[in-house]
């Protein structure tokens, strides 16, 4: 499709300055943008969406704790005070790093410096049926979809008469016990314990089961043993059924088949089991490593073992950078992306002043996960490990600090206070686009029930 | 489709009490529900959505001033403290008032009393092309769609190169100068004057035109001359182009044709020119009047001139009730629906106590419309007319009072304060379902640009 536009040029004014193109307005791209001094370069940011998504809180949108609007920040607002900064909402189809050219749906664009900050995308590891029936949780729209799906299950249960097939409406399966999976299970358990029983008094919530399926031998495998054990304990106390050392083989929308032969009936499978670099077409296999773009300590992308591409950088989740301490590559975490964005901004200034680049050094700020009310686990720098209420307060504070914009901080904080004291979730609207998820159900046979879309 | 279910019964427990079925959780249905005393009747509420929509503020959602979640309230929350009250999210296909039976997608349900409170729906007066290309504003999803559409126009304009066809991206046409149309024009003008120029510094907002097209000879035709003149003045001062005595004949998605032969090029037409009763199948033409259900002063529905249906009531926008003062029928306003809901609750209690019903009396609480910042018009009871800042403060206070739930009141109030002092709109996310509005554009020829959905 983009081939029609090979001869068109994307409409960006030529101001005579060298042009930095940033692809992606996530943690990496946004922090690079913030720290690039005005006046040195022309800066162009491209994104498919017009907002930055605060992914760590999407699970709270999905479980009706936060409005979608408060975990997203309009990208233009962050750009508007800078001079010669330009935002364009569009998709980039292909990059041509040898020619220093990118190809977008609206024409091509030359760059002096390109920063690929396109993040990660869901990795289904080739499981077509899971990608067709399971719910991902990477975008605001995913969170809205999942929220609607969860509440629709119970609306339908109040309509259907008792029969053997009903348990799959009550079952929720989360695949992957990283922080997304663990936090989502905690939030689902909170919904079951505090919100749903009063909303649906005719249903018995003893029947609602939350399964967490993990391929490795413990939950939060990227965290310390201490954090993992604590999280495991918290989850079990909240009634989450944890299945370890088990892979998910298939899912047809009704039944999950595990690699130990067991089956779980469920209408709702959430896939939190893996991501891969959101790589854009045009890179040679030599530039890639473990499904990400291999970069050196200056975030530069190499054409081959020897030669780097001119002015081409990658930061955050789309990149993999090996260091002395992280020989397998830095983890795919927001702090890595943020720090690389800030660092690259400084290196771009060094390039302008014709100084030597400085290598990136990752400062580990700690890793955390929250599991329901008053409970979180944290591995802090210096080997400090925190759990329970203290961990939970730190988790909330850090997430508020990193949220984009004062308005969002205020709204999220107010919501958390509200939810804490009322045990309520204000935001359980089922808003779904027409034609989506028109499950066909009835009491004994499939037939349409409860169509809220027309 | 429902024919398959003629033999199924909707799953509601039989508690021995007489059953009141309320169709619709809008202003009428919700207020009836609130005022029905627990213990007398079994109450069943049916709605296609699981939330109540505060329609008077949808235009603020559409113009990025409020989150969708704060103008909607979960219906189950209002029901959960009542005994033998049941909510079911589903669509009612047909009513059979002679048999005291309703037919839903999930089976049929017998009732002792039926209250139809299904509100109104958009009336396109048979204009198929307008219903296909224009934007309605009755539901939360409509407001979200319109918000995305508005901001997408400017995202696209920043991509496209200058050519003659671009003006239609800058033009917004609102058809119908009732309160929805007038308030929406005011909000669009506010966006143009305060928000958009800093978000899109490369565009010239002198080019953004807002047209308000009205078939009658003045804006706010249902309000006093004084209010109408003031509103007209405010709108013109804010730069809205008002076209009176003019009907909209057709719209193909790019060009509006008016009945005076004039054409306006626009990508965005908002249809606020009429509603009709949201009538459910199964009623005879004798029961209807002016596209609504004719009711007597007790909100009873008649089978013919003489005989009424047993236990069948209609309230709010779906009904038309003629009184001494309102010989053409009461207006389709929220206060009418609210008062009828409260009144019918009392009459249902009188039926239980075998007392005589009391006729409904409409207490006019006034009619208001707000036009941008610091400006509103109000026709208050007793002939009092207010404008400007005083009207605006009263408008805000009343809307806050009628909003459902303390949480929503608090969130909306905070947003208004925030917007007032910052001149900002926090909530300009473009969130659209896949496949919706994939306009094909480019610089000179149609081709895909800026697909944020994949």
Of the candidates A74, A105, A428, which has its C-beta nearest B450's C-beta? Answer: A105
Please write the tens of the pLDDT for every residue from A299-351: 999 998 889 999 999 999 999 999 999 999 999 999 999 999 999 999 999 99
C-alpha atoms less than 13 angstroms from C-alpha of B127 in its C-beta half-sphere: 23
Strand order across the beta sheet in which B92-96 lies: B92-96, B101-104, B107-110
What is the reported pLDDT for A424?
Answer: 64
Name chain A contacts of B433, Cβ cutoff 8 Å. Answer: 141, 433-434, 436
Most A CBs within 10 A among B76, B87, B139, B280, hence the mutation to make, goes to B76
Name chain A contacts of B5, Cβ cutoff 8 Å. Answer: 442, 447
A352 or B438, higher pLDDT: A352
The answer, yes or no, to whether residue A445 has pLDDT greater than 50, is no
Domains and CATH numbers, chain B: 2-122+276-352 (3.50.50.60), 128-273 (3.50.50.100)
Strand order across the beta sheet in which B367-370 lies: B367-370, B376-379, B385-386
The answer, yes or no, to whether residue A202 has pLDDT greater than 60, is yes
Between strands B275-277 and B268-271, the pairing is unpaired
Most A CBs within 10 A among B13, B132, B159, hence the mutation to make, goes to B159
Distance to chain A for B191, nearest Cα, Å = 14
Locate the chain A residue with the closest alpha carbon to B431: A141
What is the reported pLDDT for B113?
Answer: 98
Locate the chain B residue with the closest alpha carbon to A433: B433
Among B312, B359, B365, B356, smallest CA distance to B338 is for: B365
What is the reported pLDDT for A367?
Answer: 86
The pLDDT tens digits along chain B (454 residues) read 334 444 688 889 999 999 999 999 999 999 999 998 768 999 999 999 999 999 989 999 999 888 888 888 889 887 777 789 999 999 999 999 999 999 998 899 999 999 999 999 999 988 888 988 999 999 988 998 899 999 999 999 999 887 778 999 999 999 999 999 999 999 999 999 988 998 999 999 999 999 999 999 999 999 999 999 999 999 999 999 999 999 999 999 999 999 999 999 999 999 999 899 999 999 999 999 999 999 999 999 999 888 999 999 999 999 999 999 999 999 999 999 999 999 999 999 999 999 999 999 999 888 888 887 778 888 888 777 777 788 778 888 878 777 777 667 777 777 777 777 766 665 667 766 543 433 323 332 223 333 332 2
Of the candidates B70, B198, B451, which has its C-beta nearest A91's C-beta? Answer: B451
Positive or negative, the CA dihedral B179, B185, B191, B196 is positive
Are A452 and B89 in contact (CB < 8 Å)?
A: yes
Locate the chain A residue with the closest alpha carbon to B61: A69
**What is d(CA A441, CA A11) in angstroms, rounded to the nearest whole number?**
50
Are A414 and B414 in contact (CB < 8 Å)?
A: yes
Are A449 and B144 in contact (CB < 8 Å)?
A: no
Are A50 and B155 in contact (CB < 8 Å)?
A: yes
pLDDT, average across residues A353-379: 89
Of the candidates A50, A199, A427, which has its C-beta nearest B69's C-beta? Answer: A427
Distance to chain A for B106, nearest Cα, Å = 6
Locate the chain B residue with the closest alpha carbon to A453: B48
Of the candidates A11, A202, A410, which has its C-beta nearest B159's C-beta? Answer: A11
What is the reported pLDDT for B7?
Answer: 62
Strand, coil or helix: what is B295? strand
Are A449 and B90 in contact (CB < 8 Å)?
A: yes
Name chain A contacts of B61, Cβ cutoff 8 Å. Answer: none
Kindly tell me the burial class for residue A454, based on how many C-beta atoms sit within 10 Å of its own C-beta (0-12, 13-18, 19 or more). exposed
Name chain A contacts of B80, Cβ cutoff 8 Å. Answer: 198-199, 201
DSSP character at residue A192: I
Are B74 and A448 in contact (CB < 8 Å)?
A: no
Contacts of residue B79, Cβ cutoff 8 Å, sequence gap at least 6: B33, B45, B85, B86, B87
Most A CBs within 10 A among B14, B449, B453, B454, hence the mutation to make, goes to B449
B42 or A126, higher pLDDT: B42
The answer, yes or no, to whether residue A287 has pLDDT greater than 60, is yes
Please write the tens of the pLDDT for every residue from A207-261: 999 999 999 999 999 999 999 999 999 999 999 999 999 999 999 999 999 999 9
Among B291, B303, B276, B290, smallest CA distance to B96 is for: B303
Locate the chain B residue with the closest alpha carbon to A8: B443
Q: Please count the residue pairs, one from chain A and one from chain B, whose beta carbons lie less than 8 angstroms apart.
A: 202
pLDDT bracket for residue A126 (50, 70, 90): confident
Name chain B contacts of A442, Cβ cutoff 8 Å. Answer: 5, 8, 106
Name chain A contacts of B418, Cβ cutoff 8 Å. Answer: 407
What is the reported pLDDT for B147?
Answer: 92
Positive or negative, the CA dihedral B14, B15, B16, B22 is negative
Are B451 and A199 in contact (CB < 8 Å)?
A: no
Across A370-409, b (16+ Cβ under 10 Å) vs e yields: bbbbebbbbbbeeeebbbeeebbebbbebbeeebbbebbb
Among B176, B215, B43, smallest CA distance to B113 is for: B43
Are B428 and A1 in contact (CB < 8 Å)?
A: no
Kindly list the distances between the CA atom of residue A178 and the CA atoms of A81, A107, A174, B11, B149, in Å, as whole numbers in the listed order. Answer: 38, 39, 10, 40, 37
Locate the chain A residue with the closest alpha carbon to B197: A80
Name chain A contacts of B198, Cβ cutoff 8 Å. Answer: 80
Most B CBs within 10 A among A44, A79, A163, A199, hence the mutation to make, goes to A199
Are A141 and B433 in contact (CB < 8 Å)?
A: yes
- For chain A, what percentages of helix, strand and coil (3-state, to nearest 5) are there? 35, 25, 40
Name chain A contacts of B86, Cβ cutoff 8 Å. Answer: 158, 202
Name chain B contacts of A140, Cβ cutoff 8 Å. Answer: 429, 431
Distance to chain A for B429, nearest Cα, Å = 6
Strand, coil or helix: what is A241? strand
Kindly tell me the burial class for residue B362, based on how many C-beta atoms sit within 10 Å of its own C-beta (0-12, 13-18, 19 or more). middle
Name chain B contacts of A450, Cβ cutoff 8 Å. Answer: 48, 88-91, 105-106
Positive or negative, the CA dihedral A82, A88, A94, A98 is negative
Distance to chain B for A113, nearest Cα, Å = 21
Are A91 and B10 in contact (CB < 8 Å)?
A: no
Confirm if A309 and A98 have CB atoms less than 8 A apart. yes
Locate the chain A residue with the closest alpha carbon to B77: A199
Locate the chain A residue with the closest alpha carbon to B162: A11
B88 or A446, higher pLDDT: B88
Beta strands in A207-344 (DSSP E): 209-213, 240-243, 248-251, 255-258, 263-265, 268-271, 275-277, 288-289, 292-295, 300-302, 308-314, 319-321
Locate the chain A residue with the closest alpha carbon to B198: A80
pLDDT bracket for residue A372 (50, 70, 90): confident
What is the reported pLDDT for A439?
Answer: 35
Are B5 and A200 in contact (CB < 8 Å)?
A: no
Are B452 and A89 in contact (CB < 8 Å)?
A: yes
Strand, coil or helix: what is B309? strand
Name chain A contacts of B76, Cβ cutoff 8 Å. Answer: 199-200, 428
- For chain B, what percentages of helix, strand and coil (3-state, to nearest 5) are there? 35, 25, 40
């Amino acid at each position: 499709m983009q081939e029609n536009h090979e001869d068109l040029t994307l409409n960006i004014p030529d101001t005579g300055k060298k042009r930095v193109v940033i692809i992606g307005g996530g943690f990496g791209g946004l922090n690079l943008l913030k720290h690039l001094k005005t006046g040195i370069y022309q800066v162009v940011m491209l994104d498919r969406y017009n907002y930055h998504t605060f992914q760590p809180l999407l699970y709270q949108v999905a479980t009706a704790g936060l409005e979608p609007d408060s975990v997203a920040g309009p990208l233009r607002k962050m750009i508007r005070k800078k001079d010669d900064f330009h935002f364009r909402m569009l998709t980039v189809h292909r990059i041509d790093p040898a020619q220093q050219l990118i190809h977008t749906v609206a024409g091509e664009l030359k760059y002096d410096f390109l920063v690929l900050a396109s993040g990660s995308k869901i990795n289904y590891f080739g499981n077509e049926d899971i990608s067709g029936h399971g719910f991902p949780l990477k975008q605001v729209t995913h969170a809205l979809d999942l929220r609607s799906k969860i509440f629709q299950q119970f609306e339908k249960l109040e309509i259907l008469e008792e029969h053997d097939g009903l348990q799959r409406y009550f079952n929720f399966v989360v695949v992957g016990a990283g922080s997304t999976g663990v936090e989502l299970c905690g939030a689902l358990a909170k919904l079951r314990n505090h919100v749903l029983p009063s909303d649906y008094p005719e249903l018995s919530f003893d029947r609602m089961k939350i399964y967490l399926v993990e391929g490795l031998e413990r939950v939060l495998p990227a965290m310390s043993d201490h954090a993992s054990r604590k999280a495991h304990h918290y989850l079990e106390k909240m009634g989450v059924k944890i299945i370890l050392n088990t892979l998910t083989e298939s899912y047809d929308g009704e039944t999950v088949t595990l690699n130990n032969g067991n089956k779980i009936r469920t209408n709702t499978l959430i896939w939190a089991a893996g991501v891969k670099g959101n790589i854009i077409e045009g890179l040679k296999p030599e530039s890639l490593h473990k499904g990400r773009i291999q970069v050196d300590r200056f975030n530069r992308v190499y054409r081959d073992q020897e030669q780097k591409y001119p002015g081409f950088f990658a930061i955050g989740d789309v990149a993999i950078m090996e260091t002395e301490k992280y020989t397998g590559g830095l983890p795919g975490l927001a702090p890595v992306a943020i720090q690389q964005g800030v660092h690259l901004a400084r290196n771009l200034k060094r390039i302008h002043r014709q100084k030597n680049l400085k290598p990136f050094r990752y400062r580990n700020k700690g890793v955390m996960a929250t599991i329901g009310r008053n409970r979180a686990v944290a591995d802090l720098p210096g080997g400090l490990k925190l759990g329970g209420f203290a961990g939970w307060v730190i988790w909330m504070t850090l997430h508020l600090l990193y949220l984009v914009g004062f308005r969002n901080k205020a709204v999220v904080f107010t919501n958390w206070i509200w939810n804490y004291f009322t045990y309520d979730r204000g935001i359980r609207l089922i808003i779904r686009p027409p034609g989506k998820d028109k499950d066909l159900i009835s009491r004994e046979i499939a037939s349409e029930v409860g169509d809220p879309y027309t």
